[in-house]
Amino acid sequence: MARSANQKSKLLYVRDFLLRSSDQEHPVTVNQIIGFLSQQDIRAERKSIYDDIETLRRFGLDIIQTKEDGRCGYYVGDREFQLPELKLLVDSVQASKFITHKKTVSLIKKIEGLSSVYQARQLSRQVFVANRIKTMNESIYYNVDEIHSGIAQNRQIRFHYFDYTVDKQRRFRREGGFYQVSPFALTWDDENYYMVAYDSQAQVIKHFRVDKMVDIAVLEEERDGKRAYAALDMAVYARKVFGMFSGEERRVRLRFDSRMVGAVLDRLGRDAVLVPDGPDHFTVTADVVVSPQFFAWIFGFHTLAQIVGPQDVVEEMGNYLAQVAEMYAAKE
C-alpha cells in the first residue's frame, strides 16, 4: 500500500495529539492515537506508536504512562505552561484596557491553544470580555511592533497623536502635524500602555499613550537622548508619575493613617521608608511628579492622608481642593 503524503509527519501528529487531547484527567490510549492518525490518512501499528512515544520522551516531552483496570494510557505531564499560569495570562489579557475586544478574544484563543482541549474549556469559562472597557484603536499591535523596531534599530520614529472628541471622533494634536521622538521603552501604568521617549526639540523625556498613536514610521535618524534615558530608572519613574500626568518632580512628605500602609507600599514600593508618627499614623518622604492626578490620589484617602510638606505643595493641594469645592458649592 502506498504511503500517504502525511506519513513522514506521523511523529509530529502524535506529539500534537498528546499535547491537545491528553492531560492527567484524560489519558489517551494507543488505539485512540492510531484512530487520530487514521483520520489524517496516516497508517500506524501499535509498535510504531510505542517507538514514537519513546522518541518524544527522549526529545524532552514529559509523557506519563497510566494503568487503570489493565488499560494503559498516556498523557503529557509537565508542560511549558501549567494551567494556573495560563489562567494568569488570560486574566491579564482580559484586564488590559489597551487591548481591543477583537484582539482580546484572539489572544485568549491562542493562550487556550497552549493547553489540552479539556483545560482550554476551563479557561473559556473564566473569560469575561463583554462590557469591559477596551481601547477603540485596533492598530495597537502594529504600533507596538513599530516602536520595538525603532528601539531595536536605534532609530527615531514619527507618528500622529490624537484625543477623542465628545462625539468619539479623533482630534489630532499639533493640528495634524507629526511628532518625532526617540523611543526607548514601553511601560504599563494604570491599565494603559505608554511609550517612553526622548523629545529632542524639548530636550526632555516624555510619554505617549500607545493606543492614541497612529501612522507610526521608523526614520533614518539615530535616536537622541541616550544619556537622559540611561539616567532614568524606569521602575522608579513609574512610581513617581501618577497616571502618567506630567508635572514638576518634587520631594514631598506625606502623613497617613496606619491603616493605609498596604496602599502606600503598593504605590511607592516596598523600599519606601515609613516613619511612625504617634500611635495611629506614619509619615513617608517620596519623590513624586506633582500633578492633579497626584492630588487626586491623596484626596482618595479622604482624611486618612495629608501632604505635610513642602509648604508650596501643601498650598497647591489646598487650591486644587478649593477649585473642586467651588464646582459643587450650593448656588444662591
Q: pLDDT digits over 185-209, tens only?
A: 888 776 678 898 999 888 888 889 8
Cα–Cα distance between 216 and 210 in angstroms, integer? 10
Provide the residue ranges of all domains of the chain, joining segments of one domain with +.
7-76, 83-125, 140-232, 248-328
The average pLDDT across 39-57 equals 91
> In the CATH hierarchy, which top-level class contains the domain 140-232?
mainly beta
Say what the pLDDT of residue 179 is. 95
Per-residue pLDDT at 2 exceeds 50: no
CATH topology of domain 248-328: Alpha-Beta Plaits (3.30.70)
Q: Does domain 7-76 have CATH number 1.10.10.10?
A: yes
Per the prediction, the chain carries an average pLDDT of: 85
Say what the pLDDT of residue 131 is. 53
Q: pLDDT digits over 158-189, tens only?
A: 999 998 887 778 899 999 999 999 999 888 77
DSSP character string of 19-83: HHH-BTTB-B-HHHHHHHHHHTT----HHHHHHHHHHHHHHT--EEEEEETTEEEEEE-S-SS-H
Per-residue pLDDT at 1 exceeds 50: no
Say what the pLDDT of residue 156 is. 95
Task: Let me know: does 7 contact 104? Beta carbons within 8 Å.
Answer: no
What's the pTM?
A: 0.59
Say what the pLDDT of residue 159 is. 96
Alpha-carbon separation of residue 192 from 79, 98, 209, 210 (angstroms): 31, 6, 7, 8
Cα–Cα distance between 288 and 239 in angstroms, integer? 8
Q: pLDDT digits over 292-318, tens only?
A: 888 988 998 999 999 998 999 999 999
